[in-house]
Amino acid sequence: MPENRLPTIIDVARHAGVSKSVVSRVLSGNGAASPAARAQVLVSAHELGYRVNVAAQTLVSGRTRTVGVLLRRSTSPFYAQLMSELQSAANLDDYRMVAVTGNLDEASEQRALETLLELRVGGLVIGSGTLPNEAIAAVAARLPSVAIGRDAPGTGADVVRFDAERTALEAVRLLSATGHRRILLFDSTSSYSALPRRTAFLDAAAAAGIRTDLVETGYDFGPSLQAASEAIPRLCGPGAATAVVALSQEAALAAVAAAESSGLAVPAALTVLALDMNESVVPLRWDLTGYVTDVRGIARLTWAALTRRFADPAAAPETRLAPLSFHAGATAGTAVS
Amino acid sequence: MPENRLPTIIDVARHAGVSKSVVSRVLSGNGAASPAARAQVLVSAHELGYRVNVAAQTLVSGRTRTVGVLLRRSTSPFYAQLMSELQSAANLDDYRMVAVTGNLDEASEQRALETLLELRVGGLVIGSGTLPNEAIAAVAARLPSVAIGRDAPGTGADVVRFDAERTALEAVRLLSATGHRRILLFDSTSSYSALPRRTAFLDAAAAAGIRTDLVETGYDFGPSLQAASEAIPRLCGPGAATAVVALSQEAALAAVAAAESSGLAVPAALTVLALDMNESVVPLRWDLTGYVTDVRGIARLTWAALTRRFADPAAAPETRLAPLSFHAGATAGTAVS
DNA sequence: TTGAAAGCGCTAACAA
DNA sequence: TTGTTAGCGCTTTCAA
DSSP for A40-107?
HHHHHHHHHT----HHHHHHHHS--SEEEEEES-TTSHHHHHHHHHHHHHHHHTT-EEEEEE--SSHH
CB contact under 8 A, B282 and A108: no
Q: How far is the CA of A50 from the C1' of D5 (A)?
A: 30
**Separation CA B217–CA B220 (nearest Å):** 8
Q: Which residues of A257-272 are buried (b: 16+ CB within 10 A; e: fewer)?
A: bbbeebebebbebbbb
pLDDT at B320: 95
Residue nearest to nucleotide C8 (CA to C1'): A60
Comparing every residue's Cα with the C1' atom of nucleotide D2, the nearest one is B22
CA distance B1 to chain A (A): 12
**Among candidate residues B104, B118, B125, B121, the one with its CA nearest the CA of residue A88:** B104
* Nucleotides of C strand lying within 7 Å of any protein CB atom: 1-5, 7-13
Bridge-based pairing of strands A289-293 and A123-127 is unpaired
Q: Which residues on A lie below 8 Å from B95 (Cβ)?
A: none
The gap between B220 CA and D3 C1' (Å) is: 61
Nucleotides of D under 7 A from a protein CB: 1-5, 7-13
Q: Is the CB of A88 under 7 A from strand D?
A: no
Q: What is the pLDDT, as a whole number, of residue B64?
A: 82
> What's the pLDDT at A332?
95
Reduced to 3 states (helix: H, G, I; strand: E, B; else coil), residue A123 is strand
- The pLDDT value recorded for residue A192 is 87
Longest Cα pair distance anywhere in chain B, in angstroms?
Answer: 87
User: How distant is C1' of D4 from CA of A194, in Å?
Assistant: 55
* Nearest DNA or RNA nucleotide to B57 (CA to C1'): C10
Q: Are strands A289-293 and B123-127 parallel, antiparallel or unpaired?
A: unpaired
* Among candidates B75, B142, B286 on the partner chain, residue whose Cβ is nearest the Cβ of A4: B142
Task: Give mean pLDDT in consecutive 10-residue pieces for chain B, a chain of 337 residues.
Answer: 66 89 86 85 88 86 88 90 95 94 87 91 90 90 91 93 93 96 94 91 96 94 95 90 95 96 94 92 91 94 94 91 92 86
A52 touches strand D (CB under 7 A): yes
Taking an 8 Å cut-off on Cβ atoms, the answer to whether B108 and A120 are in contact is no
> 3-class DSSP state for residue B191?
coil
> What span, in angstroms and rounded, lies between the C-alpha atoms of B112 and A98?
9
Sequence-ordered list of residues with C-beta below 8 angstroms from that of B195, at least 6 positions apart, any chain = B150, B151
Q: Do B115 and A98 touch (CB under 8 A)?
A: yes
Note the pLDDT of residue B4. Answer: 54
Q: Are B54 and B64 in contact (CB under 8 A)?
A: yes
Q: Which of B66, B114, B283 sits opposite A253 (nearest CB)?
A: B283
A41 touches strand C (CB under 7 A): no
pLDDT at A307: 93
Whole-number Å distance between alpha carbons of B179 and B207: 15
Distance CA B292, CA B314 (A): 34
d(CA A278, CA A294): 7
Interface A:B, Cβ pairs < 8 A = 182
Judge if the beta carbon of B58 is closer than 7 A to nucleic acid strand C.
no
Q: pLDDT value at position A32?
A: 79
Question: Which of A177, A143, A171 lies closest to A157 in space, CA to CA?
Answer: A143
What does the pLDDT read at residue B49? 83
Per residue in B71-84, is it b (16+ CB within 10 Å) or e — as a string? bbbbbbbbbbbbbb
For the entire predicted model, the pTM comes to: 0.91
Q: In angstroms, rounded to a whole number, what is the distance separating the alpha carbons of residues B251 and A283?
A: 12
CA distance to A127, A129, A147, A240, A261, per residue, from B282 (Å): 21, 21, 26, 28, 16
Using the structure, give the distance in angstroms from the CA atom of B141 to the C1' atom of D13, rounded to a whole number: 38
Task: Name the nucleotide nearest A10; use CA and C1'.
Answer: D9
Q: Calculate Rg over the CA atoms of chain A.
A: 25
One-letter amino acid identity for B80?
A
For residue B57, say whether its CB is under 7 Å from any atom of strand C.
yes
Mutate to test the interface with B, among A50, A60, A84 (most CBs of B within 10 A): A84
Q: Which pLDDT value is given to residue B318?
A: 95
Contact indicator for A286, A253 with CB cutoff of 8 Å: yes
Q: Shortest CB distance from A87 goes to which of B98, B101, B282?
A: B101
Dihedral sign, CA of A80, A86, A91, A95? negative
* Distance of residue A36 Cα from the nearest chain B Cα, in angstroms: 27
The C-alpha atoms of residue B41 and residue A237 are separated, in whole angstroms, by 63
State whether the beta carbon of A311 lies below 7 angstroms from any atom of strand C.
Answer: no
Q: Confirm whether any atom of chain D, the nucleic acid strand, is less than 7 Å from CB of B115.
A: no
Ranges of chain A with pLDDT below 50: 1-3
Q: Which residues of B touch A220 (CB under 8 A)?
A: 281
Alpha carbon dihedral B256, B259, B261, B266, in 10-degree steps, equals -70
